[in-house]
Amino acid sequence: MIATHDAEAIRRVEPLMGTTVSLDIRPPLVSPDVIDDVFDQLRDVEARFSTYRPDSEISRLARDEVREEDCSLDVRHVRAACDHLAQVTGGAFDARRRRADGGGTLDPSGFVKGWAIEEAAWRIDSAGGRNYWINAGGDIVARGHAEGGRPWRVGIRHPDRADRVAAVLAVSDRAVATSGTYERGAHIADPRTGLAPTGLSSVTVVGPRLAFTDAYATALFVMGLDGMEWLSRQADYAAYVITDDERTVWTEGMERYLVRGA
Amino acid sequence: MLPKRGLAALAITTVALVLLLSFKTPDATLQGRTGTVAVVEPGTPSTAAPRATATPTAGTGDATAASTIDGPVVSTRWGPVQVEIVVAAGRLEDVVALQLPTGRHSGEISSWSEPILREAALQAQSADIDIVSGATYTSDAYARSLQAALDQAGLG
């Protein structure tokens, strides 16, 4: 854990949920105990939802050792949200996994990280935090403003060039999520075909809630460029994508966030 | 490859939306901007790096001497990760990646977590960017090497 705490800011970095979660709070600051709680909560979510841990609630559910109605409220909520997302994305985002025995199981990893970070943000809000960001491996909640009342500036990493950003977004009270092939390889498969999607190398979605923003970025990555029209119909969500042949395409809603001449 | 049919569909939707909503006039600085979806050709949008540019305290009348501490080498699937920290007057001044896996193998690149953590560990020193959005994979190894260096410096 890396933590600094002074009059101007609280910062913390911790490896969690298969990535690194970092946090930066500007005044009004919150108690360090709140930050401890936030990270404890994230560790708890990781323990309960990990598909890699055989003793996690989600793994026990997958083995039918526990019935869904007996699961925690969080697990049932995540299940319902994942079902909803599968429906609204036409199956481009789908946490359901078919088992060899014909039964169904759930791998909600693509939803849980964003949801957990959203919950963390809610805790900071409740404790009086107004200006901060949380970054979980590139999936971001940015609340309020940076110093001087300016919006937070989010760089979208260029998919092919390590030392460049493809665009800069100015956001306040928004979530930003990026999906891409560039680091996780064929990490994302089209749930409908099992194949790796082609056409886009980077998809960034800006929206009001990270859980959905993240899931929409995954879905849009699967849909490819054809999905831009679908995304542009989702109220309050905007997308910026980079194609395999290095074109950049964005929805009208993204215009308000794009920083010109950046 | 860019699906041409997809673009055509977007263009049609775009025209319809423009008629319905009477969008503001196209921004002349953007090539190929259309109503719902804007398209920019390769090469246009890239900008400078978000990399922090702080240099360790060196000379110029600054009395506080900076020391550097190397974190351990942490192995990942893609290669070794090692960071070095610069400490002056008991404060973390800079974080430098000594080793990061580079190159693209089977569509995987893992050299990009550095600026994200660097900016998180330091104050965001770039005037332009506070946060970076984009997937990371080597960040865990980076964090471990960094943490060990911080522990060694008594800053953890």
Angle made by CA atoms A81, A77, A99, in degrees to the nearest 5: 70
Q: Give the three-state DSSP class for A141.
A: strand
Average pLDDT estimate for A190-218: 90
- Burial class, A106, CB count within 10 angstroms (exposed 0-12 / middle 13-18 / buried 19+): buried
Q: Is residue A221 part of a domain?
A: yes
Query: For residue A128, is pLDDT > 90?
Result: yes
Q: Answer whether residue A156 is part of any domain.
A: yes
Which tens digit of pLDDT belongs to each residue from A2-44? Answer: 566 667 888 887 777 777 788 889 999 999 899 999 999 999 9
Q: Is A230 exposed, middle or buried (0-12, 13-18, 19+ CB in 10 A)?
A: middle
Contacts of A249 in chain B (CB under 8 A): 37-40
Domain with A74 in it? 2-256
Contact B46 A166 (CB under 8 A): yes
CATH code of the domain containing A90: 3.10.520.10
Comparing CB atoms, the residue among A2, A163, A166 nearest residue B45 is A166
Greatest Cα pair distance, chain A, in angstroms, is: 58
State the CB neighbour count (10 A cutoff) for residue A176: 31
Least CB–CB distance from A183: residue in B35, B92, B108: B108
Inform me whether the C-beta atom of residue A245 falls under 8 Å from chain B C-beta atoms.
yes
Taking the C-alpha atoms of residue B18 and residue B9, their distance in angstroms, rounded to an integer, is 14
Q: Is A262 part of a structural domain of the chain? A: no
Measured between beta carbons, the chain B residues lying within 8 angstroms of A35 are none
A164 → chain B, closest CA residue: B49
In a domain, A261, yes or no: no
The pLDDT tens digits for A222-245 are 999 999 999 999 999 999 998 888
**pLDDT value of position B48:** 31
Decide: A3 and A11 in contact? Cβ < 8 Å: yes
Which pLDDT does position A191 carry in this prediction? 84
Stretches in chain B below the pLDDT threshold 70: 1-64, 76-79, 91-95, 97, 100-129, 134-147, 150, 154-156
- What's the confidence (pLDDT) of residue A131? 97
Minimal C-alpha gap between B147 and chain A (Å) = 7
A37-74 burial: b if 16+ Cβ within 10 Å, else e: bbbeebeebbebbbbeeeebbbbbbbeeebeeeebeeb
> Which B residues 89-148 touch A at CB under 8 Å?
92, 102, 104, 106-113, 116-117, 120-121, 123-124, 128-137, 139-140, 142-144, 146-147
Q: How many domains does chain A have?
A: 1
pTM comes to: 0.69
Tell me, yes or no, whether A65 lies in a domain: yes
Give the residue extent of every domain in chain B. Answer: 1-46, 66-153
- Residue at A90 is within a domain: yes
